[in-house]
Amino acid sequence: MSDRRSTAALLVAFTVLNLVAVVLLAAAYGWPAVLDEPAAVVLPAFAAAQTAVVAGFLLQTLLSVALVPIAIGLHREVGGGTRLWPLTVAAFGILSGLTQTLGWIRWPVVVPGLADTWLDPATTPEVRTATAVSYDLLNSYAGGALGEYLGWLFQALWAVGVAVLLVRARIAGPATAVVGLGLTAVWGLSFLAGPFLPVLAEGPFGTAGFTAYGLWFFWLGAVGLVLLRGARTPVGAR
């Protein structure tokens, strides 16, 4: 029961703190829209609100790290044992946390130095150009390829597996799984197919994807509440 309470508490905290991080970064930095801007816009904006921005990205980094114990805890609750399918689902959750951590950590660790170099009056045009190229490469690899694409891929696979296992373990009803699978299908299609079919990442489709992704975090929080309610229910009352 203590393990279930811990996993439930992590899921609820994960949802609430993700909302805090998103609101903080959106207010201080115009995130995520700012990611589409060039280094000449991003780096000065970063420096102007560096304390708040670094705090927001550090929080996102820690939340990605938290996906590791969350995936392990949910494995114990909905899968357990050494069966291949539940273990694979847990592995996807752990990989999602690790790849997203590698994506987020660039902001508090590397980007401050790039911003300082960009704004330094002594920086030559050649060095400023090299700084912009460095930012673009870092953003494309650590952010786009690792943190976003691989992170979202593993997260989508984990989300589908958890939704199915919740029903199989009789922790939640079919409606819970349907909602989780539906939300994952919308944001997964938009995020993962978007780089190859831009129409899915832009306009109403892109908006639907980000909306579904935000709602999916609340779905995770709801799963946490279901687990918490189960942990508080006496065995004989179930």
Q: Is the confidence at residue 79, as pLDDT, over 90?
A: no
Q: What's the domain range around 199? A: 2-237
The whole-number average pLDDT for the span 4-26 is 95
Write down the pLDDT at residue 20.
97
Residues 150, 191 contacting (CB under 8 angstroms): no
Q: Is the pLDDT of residue 233 over 60?
A: no
Number of domains in the chain: 1
Beta-carbon neighbour count of residue 201 at 10 Å? 18
Tokens of 165: 């296992």
| Overall average pLDDT of the 65-89 stretch | 89
Q: What is the pTM of this model?
A: 0.91
Cis amide bond preceding 44, omega within 30: no
pLDDT at 133 (0 to 100) = 97
